[in-house]
Structure 1
Amino acid sequence: MRIVFIGPPGAGKGTQSVRLAKHLNVPPLSTGAMLRDATAKGTELGIESAKFMKQGKLVPDKLVEQILFQRLDDPDCAEGCIIDGFPRTVPQAEALDQWLAERRSPLEIVLELYVPFEELQRRLAGRGRADDSQEVVKKRLRAYDDLTRPLLDYYQGRSKLHRIDGLGSPDEVFGRMLAAIKSVEPIQG
C-alpha cells in the first residue's frame, strides 16, 4: 500500500508514520532523511541538494523528486511505502501521481493528521527549542497551512484524502489511521 502522510509540525506525524510503516511492513520514506542520506553518501543528487541546504534554501522540487523516485524504485518499496514530507505542493503531487501511474502503482490513500492550531502552538512551545518562540511557531503554522491547503484540496478532489483526528493518545490516533486504511483496503494480519 502506498500512503502519503501529511501533517503540520507538532502533530506527531513522524512518530505515527514510522509506527504505521512498521505495522504494514513497508518502509517509511522521509524526504528530509533521504536528502540528508544522499548528502552524506556524496551522491550526485546529494551534492547538488547540499548546495541549497547549506544556504538555508529549499531544495528545488525536481531534485527532491529525483531522490524520492530513485528510492521508490528500490525493491523494498515494491509492496508499498509511507511517504512523509512529500509532496508539499500540487505540482509535486501531480509529478508523484504521474510517476506512480507510469508504473501502475497508484497511491491508495493520503492521511492528513489534523491537530487544531491552538494545540499545535501548545505542543511546539512546550518543546523548549530556541526556534520555537510563540511568534515563530505561529508563522511556521500559518506558512504550513498556506502551503498545504491547495495540496489537501487536490487530494480531496481525487477522493484520496482522509483526515485523521490527531488529538488523544498515540494509540487512539493510530487506531483512527488503521480504520481509515481499512476503509480503502483491508490490512492483512
Structure 2
Amino acid sequence: MRIVLVGPPGAGKGTQAVFLAKNLSIPHISTGDLFRANISQGTELGLRAKSYMDAGQLVPDEVTIGMARDRMQQPDAAGGFLLDGFPRNVAQAEALDEMLGEAHMKIDAVLDLEVPEEEVVKRIAGRRICRNDSAHVFHATYNPPAAEGVCDVCGGELYQRDDDREDTVRRRLEVYHTQTEPIIDYYKAQGLVTTVSAMGKVADVTKRAMSALPGS
C-alpha cells in the first residue's frame, strides 16, 4: 500500500507514521530522513541540498523529488511505503503521480491528520527541552516537570526552542496553509483523502488511521 500522510505542524505525523508503517510492514519515508541520509552520504543530491540549506534557502522541488524517487526505488519500498513530509506542495504531488505512473503504480490513500489550530499552537509552544540532553522533553501543560524550568531526569535547565515560540508556530501554520494544504484538494479530486482526527491518545489516533485505509 502506498500512503501519503498530511497534516499541520504538531499533528503528530512523525509519531503516527512510525506506528502505521510498522503495522503495515512498509517503510516510513520522511523528507527529514531523506535529507539527512543524502547529506551524510555525500550524494550529489545531498550536496546540492546542503548548499541551499547552508545559504538559508529552500531546497528546490527537483532536488527533493530526486531524493524521493531514489528512495522509492529501493527494494524495501517495492510493496509500498508511507510518505511523511512529501509531497509538500501541488507541484511535488504532480511529480509523484508522474513517477508512480511511469512504474504503473499509484497512491492508494491520503490520510489528513486534523487538529484545531489553537491546539497546534498549544502543543508546540508548550514544549520545553533540556539543555543537557535534547531527548529529555517536557510540556508546560501535558507533561510538566516537577519543578518549573528544571529537567526531572538530570536537573538541567529547560528552555523553549526558537522554532517552538508561538509567533514562529503561527508563521509555520501560514506556510502550511499556503503551500501544503492545497495538496489535500488535489488528492480529494482523485477520491483518495480521508480526514482523521489527531486529537486524543496516540494509540487511538493510530486505530482511527488504520480504520480509514482501504480494505480495513
Classify the TM-score, shorter chain: over 0.9
Q: 145, 160, 163: which is aligned to 1:131?
A: 163
Deviation of residue 54 (structure 1)? Answer: 1.0
**2:81 match:** 81
Larger Rg: 2
Distance 1:50 1:139 in 2: 23
Match of 2:208 in 1: 176
Matching of residues 144-183 of structure 1 within 5 Å:
144-181=176-213
CA distance in 2, matches of 1:167, 1:120: 10
SS of corresponding position for 1:131: helix
CA distance in structure 2 between the aligned counterparts of 1:156 and 1:107, rounded to whole angstroms: 12
Runs (5+) with no aligned partner, structure 2: 128-159
Q: Distance in 2 between matches of 1:134 and 1:32?
A: 23
Residue aligning to 1:109: 109
Deviation at 1:99, TM superposition (A): 0.7
TM-score, normalised by the number of residues in structure 1:
0.94
Residue identity in the other structure for 2:68: L
The answer on 1:26 being equivalent to 2:56 is no
Partner of 1:38: 38
2:71 aligned with 1:71: yes
Q: Identity of aligned pairs, percent?
A: 44
Runs of 4+ in 1 over 4 A off after TM superposition: none
Query: C-alpha displacement at 1:49, in angstroms?
Result: 1.0
List per-residue Cα deviations over 1:49-69 (Å, max 9, x = no partner).
110111122111011111110
SS of alignment partner, residue 162 of structure 2 = coil
Task: Determine the C-alpha separation between the residues in 1 that align with 2:6 and 2:182.
Answer: 12
Aligned pairs, number: 184
